[in-house]
């Protein structure tokens, strides 16, 4: 299998952490590509018609894309139990919350990076950050019992989302007023899978 990646992508990181945690990292060749929303790499566009990474190219079947699909596939392939049936809806909701954080956080970067300076909307940027902030508050107040339990895909997704906030939005100081979540992340970030996949500019 081949995984189309970008070193800075938090969605790629979710897949890489999953590969590490399920013992499959040596079974996948990673191919780093330069991919932007305005100019997707040809290999990415061929694997995923939306032009987004990550994309997992399989030799015996069509390519898989969207990090949630790929992670679910890898978990199934390894029978790793990252989507436990007895709490599947909570796990999926946490993963969706993490992806919602990432969608908003990445869109802020796109707004600042790909729009002409005179057309950048600070109101729109703050609207995206409000989504992130609400999600972080929900994690800190409603989801700590789950996060403090046995690791599943929700943990991986939230860990990668918080890592991306540190990487691209550190000035926002997301930890302020969210001590429980910050404390959980301090421990989770030290997992070998997280250390091995730390984002690069």
* Element containing residue 32 per DSSP (H, E): strand 29-32
Q: How far apart are CA 54 and CA 14, in angstroms?
A: 9
pLDDT in the model for residue 35: 85
Q: Are 6 and 53 in contact (CB under 8 A)?
A: yes
Selection from 86, 82, 62, 58 nearest residue 71 by Cα = 82
| 201 vs 136, residue with greater confidence | 136
Compute the chain's Rg from CA coordinates. Answer: 17
List the CATH code of the domain at 2-78: 3.40.30.10
Helix (H, G, I), strand (E, B) or coil at 136: helix
Helix (H, G, I), strand (E, B) or coil at 177: coil
Q: Which residue matches tokens 């990474």?
A: 53
- Per CATH, 2-78 and 85-196 having the same topology is answered no
CA angle 185, 186, 187 (to 5 degrees): 90
Q: Are 84 and 91 in contact (CB under 8 A)?
A: yes
Q: How far apart are CA 198 and CA 80, in angstroms?
A: 22
Q: How far apart are CA 62 and CA 166, in angstroms?
A: 35
Residue 36, pLDDT > 90, answer no
Domains of the chain, by residue range, sit at 2-78, 85-196
Residue 13, pLDDT > 90, answer yes
Q: Which residue matches tokens 């992806």?
A: 99
Q: Mind listing the pLDDT tens digit for each residue in 82-128?
A: 999 999 999 999 999 999 999 999 999 999 999 999 999 999 999 99
pTM comes to 0.95
Q: How far apart are CA 62 and CA 39, in angstroms?
A: 23
Q: Mind listing the pLDDT tens digit for each residue in 41-83?
A: 999 999 999 999 999 999 999 999 999 999 999 999 999 999 9
State which fold the 85-196 domain adopts: Glutathione S-transferase Yfyf (Class Pi); Chain A, domain 2 (1.20.1050)
Residue 200, pLDDT > 80, answer no
């Amino acid at each position: 299998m081949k995984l189309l990646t970008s070193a800075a992508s938090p969605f790629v990181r979710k897949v890489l952490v999953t590969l590490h945690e399920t013992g499959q990292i040596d079974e996948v060749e990673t191919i780093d590509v330069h991919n932007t929303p305005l100019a997707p790499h040809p290999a990415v566009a061929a694997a995923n018609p939306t032009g987004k990474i990550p994309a997992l190219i399989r030799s015996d079947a069509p390519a898989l894309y969207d990090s949630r699909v790929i992670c679910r596939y890898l978990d199934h392939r390894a029978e790793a139990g990252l989507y436990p049936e007895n709490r599947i809806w909570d796990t999926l909701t946490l993963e969706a919350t993490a992806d919602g954080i990432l969608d908003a956080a990445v869109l802020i970067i796109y707004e600042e990076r790909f729009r002409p300076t005179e057309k950048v909307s600070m109101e729109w940027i703050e609207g995206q950050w409000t989504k992130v902030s609400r999600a972080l508050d929900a994690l800190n107040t409603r989801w700590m019992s789950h996060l403090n339990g046995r690791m599943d895909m929700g943990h991986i997704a939230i860990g990668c989302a918080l890592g991306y906030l540190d990487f691209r939005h550190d000035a926002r100081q997301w930890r302020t007023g969210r001590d429980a979540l910050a404390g959980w992340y301090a421990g989770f970030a030290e997992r070998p899978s997280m250390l091995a996949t730390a984002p690069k500019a």
